[in-house]
């Protein structure tokens, strides 16, 4: 399976809200999962389809938000940082290659840094 590595676009970093950052975390983690599957050369459709994978990612991000005591509809920067740490640990524990974890973590840290500047 061919996969093009996902990276945050500069335009995604403009006029960010905390909800935008939360949604980019979901997209990033979803893309990391797709990349991990592609890197092991497994056929994504043999076990899980895109919709199921997205729903699984969304559930994991919501769970992480709940674990940090966050408000899903009005996330704080601190909670978003906790979510990223949870997802990093979860992906590593699941065997996601370190280079994939590091790349996607760096992408989201760019989002959170931009959000911190813009959201205060």
Please give the Cα distance from 108 to 96 (Å, whole number): 17
Model pLDDT, residue 2:
61
Tell me which residue has tokens 């960010």: 16
Model pLDDT, residue 48:
67
Please give the Cα distance from 106 to 104 (Å, whole number): 5
Model pLDDT, residue 36:
86
pTM, two decimal places: 0.88
Model pLDDT, residue 119:
82
Give the relative orientation of helices 98-119 and 77-93 as an angle to the nearest 10 degrees: 180
Q: What is the DSSP letter of 5?
A: P
Model pLDDT, residue 44:
47
Model pLDDT, residue 4:
81
Listed in order, strand segments (DSSP E) in 14-114 are: none
pLDDT digits (tens), the chain, 120 positions: 566 889 999 999 999 999 999 999 999 999 998 888 877 765 544 566 888 889 999 999 999 999 989 899 999 999 999 999 999 999 999 889 999 999 999 999 999 999 999 886
Model pLDDT, residue 40:
74
């Amino acid at each position: 399976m061919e996969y093009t590595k996902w990276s945050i676009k500069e335009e995604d970093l403009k006029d960010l809200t905390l909800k935008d950052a939360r949604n980019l975390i979901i997209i990033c983690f979803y893309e990391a999962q797709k990349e991990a599957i592609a890197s092991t050369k497994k056929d994504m459709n043999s076990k899980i389809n895109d919709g199921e994978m997205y729903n699984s990612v969304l559930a994991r991000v919501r769970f992480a938000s709940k674990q940090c005591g966050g408000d899903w509809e009005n996330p704080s920067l601190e909670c978003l940082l906790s979510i990223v740490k949870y997802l990093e640990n979860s992906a590593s524990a699941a065997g996601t290659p370190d280079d994939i974890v590091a790349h996607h973590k760096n992408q989201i840290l760019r989002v959170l840094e931009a959000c911190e500047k813009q959201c205060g």
